[in-house]
A and B are shown apart, each in its own frame.
Chain A
Amino acid sequence: MTVPPVDGLVDGPSDATADTAVQVRGLIRSFGTTRAVDGLDLDVHCREVLALLGPNGAGKTTTVEVCEGFLRPDAGTVRVLGRDPATESRALRPRVGVMPQGGGAYPGVRAAEMLGLVAACAARPLPVDWLLDVLGLTAVSRVPYKRLSGGQQQRLALACALVGRPELVFLDEPTAGMDPQARRLVWDLVRALRADGVSVLFTTHLMDEAEALADQVVIIDRGRVLAAGSPAELTTGGAEQQLRFGARPGLDLSRLVAALPENCLVSEPQPGSYLVEGGVDPQLVATVTAWCAQQGVLAEDLRIARRSLEDVFLDLTGRELRS
Chain B
Amino acid sequence: MTSRFAPGTFSPAPGRGRLPRMLLMQARTEFTLTLRNGEQLLLTMLIPLGLLVGLTLLDVVPVGQPRIDHVTPRILALAVMSTAFTGQAIALGFDRRYGVLKRLAATALPRWSLVAARMLSVLGVVIVQLMVLGAVAAALGWRPDPAGLAPAGLLLLAGTAAFGALGVLLGGTLRAEVVLALANTVWLLLLVAGGIVLSVETLPGPLAVLAAALPSGALAEGLTAALVNGAGSWGALAVLLAWATAAGLLAARTLRLS
On A, residues with C-beta under 8 Å from B are: 1-3, 5-6, 9-13, 16, 68, 70, 90, 93-96, 98, 100, 102-109, 113-114, 116-118, 120-126, 134, 145-146, 157, 160, 162, 164-167, 188-189, 191-193, 195-198
On B, residues with C-beta under 8 Å from A are: 3-17, 21-22, 25-26, 29-30, 32-33, 36-37, 94-95, 97-110, 257
Interface contact A123-B14, CB-CB below 8 Å? yes
Residues of A within 8 A of B98 (CB): 104-107, 145-146
7 new A-B pairs (CB below 8 Å) besides A93-B16, A104-B99? A6-B13, A109-B100, A118-B104, A120-B17, A162-B10, A167-B14, A192-B3
- A165 to B29 Cα, complex, angstroms: 22
Interface contact B102-A165, CB-CB below 8 Å? no
Interface contact A166-B103, CB-CB below 8 Å? no
Interface contact A68-B106, CB-CB below 8 Å? yes
Interface contact B30-A121, CB-CB below 8 Å? no
Residues of A within 8 A of B100 (CB): 104-106, 109
- Interchain CB contact (< 8 A) of B5 among A95, A124, A188, A197: A188
Interface contact A70-B105, CB-CB below 8 Å? yes
- A189 to B4 Cα, complex, angstroms: 9
State the Cβ distance, B182 to closest chain A Cβ, in Å.
19
Interface contact A123-B15, CB-CB below 8 Å? yes
Interface contact A104-B103, CB-CB below 8 Å? yes
Interface contact B106-A100, CB-CB below 8 Å? yes
Residues of B within 8 A of A104 (CB): 98-103, 106
**Chain B residue with Cβ nearest A192:** B5
- Interchain CB contact (< 8 A) of A196 among B11, B26, B33, B108: B11
- A106 to B95 Cα, complex, angstroms: 5
- A108 to B17 Cα, complex, angstroms: 24
**Chain B residue with Cβ nearest A81:** B14
Most chain A CB within 10 A, of B9, B13, B22, B25, is at B13
- Interchain CB contact (< 8 A) of A120 among B21, B33, B36: B21
Interface contact A1-B105, CB-CB below 8 Å? no
Residues of B within 8 A of A6 (CB): 11, 13
Interface contact B12-A166, CB-CB below 8 Å? yes
Most chain B CB within 10 A, of A12, A104, A165, is at A104
Interface contact A188-B4, CB-CB below 8 Å? yes
Contacts A122-B17, A191-B3 given: A164-B10 contact, CB under 8 Å? Answer: no
Interface contact A164-B33, CB-CB below 8 Å? no
- A162 to B110 Cα, complex, angstroms: 19
A-B CB contact pairs (8 Å), 22 listed:
A1-B4, A1-B6, A6-B13, A11-B15, A12-B12, A13-B14, A93-B16, A93-B109, A94-B108, A104-B99, A116-B25, A118-B103, A120-B25, A121-B17, A123-B13, A162-B10, A164-B14, A165-B12, A165-B13, A188-B4, A193-B10, A198-B10
